[in-house]
Amino acid sequence: MLNFIISSYGGFGAYGIGVNFINNKELSDYISSKGYSQLKSYNLSQTGYGYFIFKNFIIGGIGFNGFSSTYQNSNKFIKTKFSGGGFSFGYIIFSTNYFLIYPTILLGGYGYTMKLYEKTTDSLSGVIDEPKREVELSTGNFMFGPSINLTYFVYGGLNVSINFGYNWTLSSEFSSESVQITNNKMFSFNNFYINIALGIGGFTK
């Protein structure tokens, strides 16, 4: 039976694996001009979320964490990581007894870290005397964006979801605990994502 107006109630949570396609070309071009490798525009990520359903309204939270990526150009290395999450809400626009389609809006924040270092050979005393072998830069700001989500209840409360959307991120500067940065630059990390999630829960009408 198809239900466009009948209210649904319930809740579910899920864990997923997916890909974030990050708009990092400006940052990639900048660091490659300094002798480092170009950055990939995609990042494998894991996602977790939970939703409460009341009268077709979906309310909950979501978080994602990108797997770290390592880049090398000669003896120069970069490790990057991207994460985010926040409050998510939406509405069920289509449902059957086993299937839901619901757009959502995410309001939250993101973080991006970048560790830069050069591999060298030195004695223990040399490393202790001059320990500045790497620097970790981090940035973060507000993030918001829409998504479309499709959830199918396979058996009982077991469900499979496909989620895809776009996140806008406000630009921000990098900072470091070990270095006071001057002549800083602003970067943003807008990203499109898609993931497949396995969850458990249920809903009734």
104 half-sphere exposure, CB direction, 13 A CA radius: 30
CATH number of the structural domain spanning residue 193: 2.40.160.20
Using 50, 70 and 90 to split pLDDT, how confident is the model at 131? Answer: low
16-43 confidence digits (pLDDT tens): 999 999 998 888 998 899 899 999 989 9
Strands 9-22 and 69-73 come out as unpaired
Whether 117 is covered by a domain: the verdict is yes
DSSP labels for 9-66?
A: EEEEEEEEEEEEEE--HHHHHHHHTTTPPPPPSEEEEEEEEEEEEETTEEEEEEEEEE
Whether 126 is covered by a domain: the verdict is yes
Domain with 197 in it: 13-204
pTM for this predicted structure: 0.84
91-107 confidence digits (pLDDT tens): 999 998 889 999 999 99
Domains in the chain, number: 1
